[in-house]
Structures are given as structure tokens and as C-alpha cells.
A and B are shown apart, each in its own frame.
Chain A
């Protein structure tokens, strides 16, 4: 099979390069330093156009992709070897609609493309990824890049989706109109990357052969003259080396339209003067560029796209009529969330029991094989009990991530953000904050980072500060353990799991807490009206099995790896602290109480006692600062050591039946469990989250504030829960 790529070699004519689509595509990554600077190829485009998918396909990496805008918020660079192209530096950029970005991720992309990043070489070639379904919006950036004189290759994505909507994009006509190469990369990777690589091979050798006409949209000579003067003035003020005059024009147009900021007060004054001169001539500089670029783009689209069914209602339109409906949409949203949390409990029971039985069998086996003594205790009560108590939650982790990846891949998240916009506005935020907050249910770190897609500083800060209140997956083992131990496994209304409902209410508690904190912050500190909410709503796509399975497998693998490394190491150290100094002829309970960990626990106990916790829980909370799951493994370890003389029992039974050695009363009650769950909902126990907030805000003040407010909130809420619980719950 042969595929054509349209490569215009001159302004007037296009030529066709053909290659065999069955060409073997092998790309390998290397970080080996190269003496010659490698050619830099940057991937640019609007959000959700498919840049990271292309980046992954070319480099063989596995960066996260999803069907909603704003997944990539950082510049990513890799060195890869492409067949017949050789080594290149490939750069993936956050999505931006134009070179005049407003949110931090857009500004980052624009700064890189405009060469404003010191220590960064400007790219030799830009592959602009263009979504064929929304050609108008995508071509704005292309036209700006052309004006700045970059060699641009347009990579068309989603032409298959566009065809189903009756939109036929003709790459050869688009290439002729734009005077840049256009490559269709929609469809299966293997088939479509060959033509792109052929184009890269052709133009990396001599990018200057891509020389489209610049400023094709601008017919106003007066504006061009003024822009040229202004751009040149800005360059001279910055003592920058001389560039081509056309580049100065592009900068000048940016200054006149307000998209580019002047570097000095003189430039600002000059800009205002020139704007006034243009206004006297009847030209509104602030909107001239936008209006005329879009007019020009409309002409290009008219020449290269055929609309067969302009009024055709797509499947996405039909689904959206229900899913984004004010009433039905809200009901569907609640049902999806409810089903997610119900499934985590309802579907995971059998595999969890199997894993539990497996680890119990392993403990018994160790006791039979290894002679009684400290080594046997370390292996059975320390390592196997500690690691096993965490591994048991793998099925639940898999179900949680299965739902998250299905929601991300389908395109539902953007709709949910639109639905929740009105709710978010009540607390002074906007719908755009929803996606970072939803990401935080998996992990707060990508959640905090994805706040870069929020243009407003105040909204961004508030979203960042409340993101860790969304219950991340690391809290899941703690919640599950306590719910399974203290909440009856009953059904509500005959079909809803009570345990699932309690689980959902913990997540809701986090959301309510976040809402209150956001309201307070917006009312007293970050006072500003929320920006209007504009978001790219992608078409629905059937989630790809391979991608979903990969995402779930990846998360499960990391969870298991973490259990086999960090949790195991923590369990070993905790076992040592709980076993030494050894006490001759002491009962296991007395021995552990007088161990190092017992002594530490008794120091902590006065602080945690009002919350209903004993010293073991206190130790577990402190240990969970290493990783939240360590709480579960430390509880398993301490109870195993305490019940060393008894028959092996599961952690659940051990917690349910634990008794105070002095009073023989049950040690843990429902109020204790509720108080502990509430503490874990609000507590900030993740060093990595604090570190990423430090990086995003550029100061330790905000992470310090976050830690203090979350700790105070967690302690107060847990105290209130326990004190009310012991009075009201018998």
C-alpha cells in the first residue's frame, strides 16, 4: 500500500512524495550525548489534538494521554532515533490555541515557541498537530507559527472521525493553501507514521524549503509598517541580534494586539502611540489580528474541506443532549460516581479473600519451615503480614483505576466539568477546576500540576490548595480496612452496598471539606470573580481496550512494587523497633508495650487519646508519613506480634476483637474507626504533594500553610467525630 504526503516545495506548486506504508518503524530512545547538536522537532497544537499520542508513538515512551484538554502541562524532551531520519530531539509541548497564552501551561508553550526560554534552542522544525474536526480553531496557531517564520509541518489527526461527521479534509488542497507540508496521521500508528517520518526526513535536512507566504491574512499595509517599527524597537531595546524583518512584524503585531507584553515602559508607551494612530485610521489593533486571521482561515477551510452534511447531528450530539442536560446529566453523574464506589466493594470481595487466604497460607508455611525464633517472627509477622496486608487491596486499586481510565478515555470528563461549572461557581471557582480535582482522586501530584491549565491565579491557587483533600488512592487501603472491620456488609434498598455508601461518603466528606476551604479562601484571600469557563469538549470515543488495560496494569504494578519495596522495608524496621529490647518471660502484649516502638507510642498517646486512638494507632499514623499504606502494614505487624501465641488470624478479625489488656474492653469501636477515617480524609501526609506545591508556587510558604491547615482540620474533625460518636453511637 502506498500513501501520499503533500509536500509543497515552492509557494506555487506542491510535489508528492510516496513511500511504502509497510516500512518498518522502529524507534529507539537514547540518552547518549551527541557531539553535534541534534535537530529539534517540537510538537505543537491546541489542547487535546493528539500531541502526546504522537510523541509516544515516535519515541516509544508512555506518557499519559486522555480524551480531555489539559493532560500535558509540562514541556517534555526526549532524544530518539527515527528510521531514515536519524537522531532527533523531540519536544512535546502543552496545548495552546495561540502564541498569546493566558494560563501557565499555554504561556510555557508560547515562551518555548517564541524562543523566550534562555538555555533552550529554538526548534528546527515544528510539527503542528491539527484536529481535522475543528480545523478553524486549530489553524490559528499554524498561521501564527508561519508568520514567525518557523518551518511547519501540519500533522492532521482525527480525519476518520471528521469523515463520519461528513467533513472531508483534502490534505493536498490544505497543503497548497497553507503552503506547508500536510500529513494525515489519523488511524493505526503503524500505517500512518511512515509518511510523517518521510516528511521529517525530507525537511530536517533542509527546513528552509518550507517557505510559505507570511501574513497572508493581513492586507493592511499601515498595520504591517507600524508592527515592523514596533518589533524592531523591541528587539533593539533587548539588544537582541538582528533577525529577518518579517519576524519583527510578527512581534509587533503581538504587541499591538496585546498578546505579547512589552519588555520596557518605553515599548509600552510606543505601543499605545501606534495603537492610537491606527485607531485614527479606523483600525482597532486589539481585534484586527483575530478577526482577519479567522477570515483568512475561513477561506483556507473553504478551499480544502468539503462539508457533506452541515446540519448532521452526530452521535456525540445525541449523547450530549442527555448527558449534559441539567437534570438528567446530574443524575447520570451521580449514578456513575455511585457505581464506581459501589463496584470497588462489590466486585473486589472474592479476589481480596483469595489474596488474604494466600498470605495466611504463606505465614503458616513459614512457621512450619523456619524454626521458631526471631527470624520466623520477622518473616511471618513482619514481612508477610506487613506486605500482605497491603497487597490485598490490589483488586480495589484496579477497579478504581479502571473507572478513572474509562472516564478519561471516553471524553466524559469534559462534560462533567461543564455540568459542575455552576456548582463550582457557588464557591467562587470555575468548571476548569474540576479536572485537577478529579485527577487528585488518583493522586494529588498530577492534580496539582494540572492546575496549570487554569488561567486565573487565584482560582489556580485555591484549586491547588484543596486538591489534596480529594481522597487519593493511597488512602483507599486505610478506608477499606476500617470499613470492612466496622461497617456491616449489608445492602441498602436491596442493591446498594452499605460499605460502598460509607466509602462514597468519605469521598464526599473530602469534597465538602474542600468546598468549605475553597469558599473561605475565595472569600477572604483570593477575592476575584471567576473567569468565564471555556473548554474544548471532545467527541466521545470508545475507550481502547489496550490503553485501558495498560493504564490499570501500570497502576497495579506500581502499587505492588511499592508494597514489595517501601512497605517491606518499613515493615522490617517496624518489626525491629517492636521486638527490641527483648523482655524475658514477658507476655507478648507486655513485650511489645516495652519495646522501642511501644515507648515511642506511649509518648504519642496523650496527643491521640482524645481522638479515641491507642498508642498503636498513633504509631501507625506517624509511620504513614512514609507512605499512607504503611498504616495498614504497621497495624497488621503490631497485632500479629501481640497475638503471637494465638492462631493466625486476619487483620480484620484482629482489629475487631482487639481488647485492652487492663480492662479487657474492646479496644476499637465504631466511633474510633469513624474518627480515624475522618482523620485520614483531611490529613496531609504526603511529602511529595508538599514538594510539588512548593515547585508550582515557588515558595515554601504555601506548602507550609497547606500542611498546617490540613493537620488542624484533620485533628479537629476527628476529635469532633469521636466525641460525638461516643455520645450518640452505642
Chain B
């Protein structure tokens, strides 16, 4: 892959991707670029703020409330997990259990644990339980079958 950088002063940042075929690699690059430009609304106490999708490690649903986890912060999301699942699918977010949506860009490794379950290690050292049913979806995602 050839990368060309060109400086154009006083112009908006623009990324042009020239590709022979729309492969998985191209889609991933597009997805990555989009994450740098996409934010979701979360609550921090009484305040609302925007966080970049790229910052999110995983989203969890607990007692009908949705929580967004970043590297070292937890926020409450306004949307439901099912809504976020649809919206964030293109950015590498995959369901890893009934109530957890994981950003695969922050997944460091996976190992099998007791009870034939899987455990995912994230970049911040946090561990996430992965259901066997959803492990196949992760595999498919990496293999480009999503």
C-alpha cells in the first residue's frame, strides 16, 4: 500500500482512498477514519458530553442502563445497547455476550477459560468475558465475513 501525504494550507482535511477493489482492508481503513470523526452522546453526572467512538473500549448493558467504558472512565449512554450495536457495527464493535458490545480495535488477545468460555484482554489490561456463541462472530469479523 502506497501512502502519499500532501500539505494544502488553509484547506479542510481530506482523505482520498484509491483502491483497485473494495476489499476488507479498504473497509477497515474507511471504518478507522470514520471513528476519528464520529462521536456519541454520553452522560457524566448531570452533564452531557461527546466522546469519540475510537475512545470507547466497550459498551455494557446493566439493569436496563447502558454504560460506555473508555480507557479509564465510565459514562452512561443515552441510547440502548441494541441501538448502539447497529450504529457502531461499522466501527468494529461486535457483541461478545448478551449485554456487552466490544470494540475489537482495542482487543489485545483472547484465551479460553474454565467452563469453555473465552476471556478477552483489552489494551488497558481489563478482561472481558466472551460468550462462545459470539466468539464465532469475532472470528468471522477478523476473517472479513461481517
A-B complex is real: no
